[in-house]
Structure 1
Amino acid sequence: MKQYLQGKTVCITGASDGIGAACAREFAAHGARLLLCSRTLGNVQRLADELTSQYGISTHAFALDVRQRQQVSDALEKLPPQWRAIDILINNAGLALGLEAFQEGDLDDWDQMIDTNVKGLLYVTRKIVPGMIERGSGHIINIGSLAGRYAYPGAAVYCATKAAVRTLTDGLRMDLVDTPLRVTDLQPGMTETNFSKVRFHGDEERAGQVYRDIDPLQASDVAETALFIATRPPHVQIQEVLITCTSQAASLVVHRPGRSG
């Protein structure tokens, strides 16, 4: 794996924490050059500095709000020349907001989820893929979700955005079938990150209930899977991976052995 990734440039969106940061750590440990971005520069720059110090790899961090189409275009065009040839793109930036019934949903939450999870992924991918085609090499890994397969109450819009990611990933793969590029949808189930804290607008107590009495996935589990996907031989394309903890069979089909009744 390390030999395969040596000298490869991996771009990760939403890299400051959670699955994005875990992917950065996993790929850094295997020799990749890391191009890391998130909405605010501070945390992602600290992560980049840490990984450079720990692994001796090259890193470049920059602020990017994937929802802003012009900002995406400008930021990627203004990258230093040595960072413009991206080998692997991990579209990780995304979020869920709220858990209200559809008829009670917050329109601002809906806009933010659609703009980040769908439109942001499109803006970044559209800007990077042509260069991959020109160089005859590249891999796009979209971080989807179990929610893209199984909708659940109170999350219709979030689930719809992740279903869109799955469909867009399939369509992109078809459009690139005559190129050496590979396209993957990596779909985690319940993963213990700040995901639920963000969903519940900072309510840590409510967020903690999501993972109570189970052993959920950790961000590192998803990152290790992303690494495996990215390091297959060039003739091998893993189209999609659905990964859950052992206690989860579908979005709301979860066994909590610590609870009675």
Structure 2
Amino acid sequence: MTAHSEDAYLREVMSKRAAIRMAVVGIGGCGCNTITNLELAGVEVPTIAVDMDAVSLHKTKAKHKILVGEATTRGRGSGGLLPLGRKVMTDEVGKVANLLEDVELVIVTAGLGGGTGSGGIAALLEYMDENMKDKLVWSMVTLPFESEGSERAENARTALKEVLELSDMTIVHSNDVLKAKARQASIIQAFKRMDQVLTNAITGLIRLQGAEPVPGLISIDFSNIERVTRDSGLGFVGVGEGRDTLTAFENSLQENYVE
């Protein structure tokens, strides 16, 4: 093999290596809002929005929209009933799973406390744990405001326990922490700031897959990310830039909404 043909072969291998196959699934109202913000940010990743509320889903911006529970609720939502959200997703999980067949990394996002998000994310994760063990699964969930009441808090606790058990890595954000950190922002602006954490993480992964190793620096690719986050439990994702490593690290910790 000549030097020219060797280079051509290596370029072909590199092109195959570079592609991280990932998708983001948003479940329920909060999850669908996150999907919309990802789309508005121009992040080039397959997005899947899942909801029982037809009006909310219609307003969502996503590459794929899946209405579940139509026969049961006629597009009116779950009414905050976690068991209903779980049953509906269990019955119709194939609609989502079919879009994840060729995906390596699945990022699932939902707000915990309501019925569709809390019940739906648990059902989807359980299905993937039993039938898609090859997938790397990250969950990014948001806890409700304390002022939302005891029922939503109990739904969130129940769902979070399952999410932690069934995800490789779980990132938990708190609406109360967000409120405390974004006092000067409107609630819509505040939620967009929190969604920016996921946007930055996905953008970082996309940039990572195309990065070329620099002599003298440690080379990191998706295999390193997978090894660190597989079966890792609670996690934190931050992306930072700086003139040196320490500055970049410190900047990566700025947008932290973990309780």
User: Quick one: which amino acid aligns to residue 169 of structure 1?
Assistant: V
- Does the 8 Å CA contact 1:7/1:33 hold for their aligned counterparts? no
Change (3 A) 1:130 1:4: farther
Other structure's SS at 2:139 match: strand
Which ranges of structure 1 fall in alignment gaps of 5 or more residues? Answer: 52-58, 96-112, 174-181, 193-209, 251-261
Within 5 A, what are the aligned runs for 1:80-91? Answer: 81-85=98-102, 87-91=105-109
Of 222, 227, 238, the match for 2:194? 222
Q: What displacement does 1:145 show? A: 2.0
Within 5 A, what are the aligned runs for 1:1-261? Answer: 7-14=21-28, 18-26=33-41, 29-45=42-58, 47-48=60-61, 59-65=63-69, 67-78=84-95, 81-85=98-102, 87-95=105-113, 113=114, 115-116=115-116, 118-133=118-133, 136-145=134-143, 152=146, 155-173=149-167, 182-190=168-176, 214-215=184-185, 218-229=190-201, 231=205, 233-237=225-229, 239-241=234-236
Change (3 A) 1:46 1:13: same
- Does the 8 Å CA contact 1:6/1:32 hold for their aligned counterparts? no
- Does the 8 Å CA contact 2:106/2:136 hold for their aligned counterparts? yes
Other structure's SS at 2:164 match: helix
Q: Which has the higher contact order (CA 8 A, sep 6+)?
A: 1
- Bigger share in helix: 2
Which ranges of structure 2 fall in alignment gaps of 5 or more residues? Answer: 1-16, 70-77, 79-83, 206-221, 239-253
Other structure's SS at 2:226 match: coil
Taking the aligned partners of 1:9 and 1:224, their CA distance within structure 2 comes to: 16
Taking the aligned partners of 1:70 and 1:228, their CA distance within structure 2 comes to: 33
Other structure's SS at 1:32 match: coil
Partner of 1:107: none
Taking the aligned partners of 1:153 and 1:80, their CA distance within structure 2 comes to: 35
Taking the aligned partners of 1:40 and 1:146, their CA distance within structure 2 comes to: 19
After superposition, give the CA deviation of every residue in 1:32-57 in whole Å (9 maximum; x if it has no partner).
11221122345534544xx6xxxxxx
Change (3 A) 1:214 1:120: same
After superposition, give the CA deviation of every residue in 1:152-200 in whole Å (9 maximum; x if it has no partner).
5773333333333443333335xxxxxxxx22132133458xxxxxxxx
Other structure's SS at 1:31 match: coil
- Does the 8 Å CA contact 2:144/2:152 hold for their aligned counterparts? no
- Does the 8 Å CA contact 1:22/1:219 hold for their aligned counterparts? no
Q: How many correspondences in the alignment?
A: 187
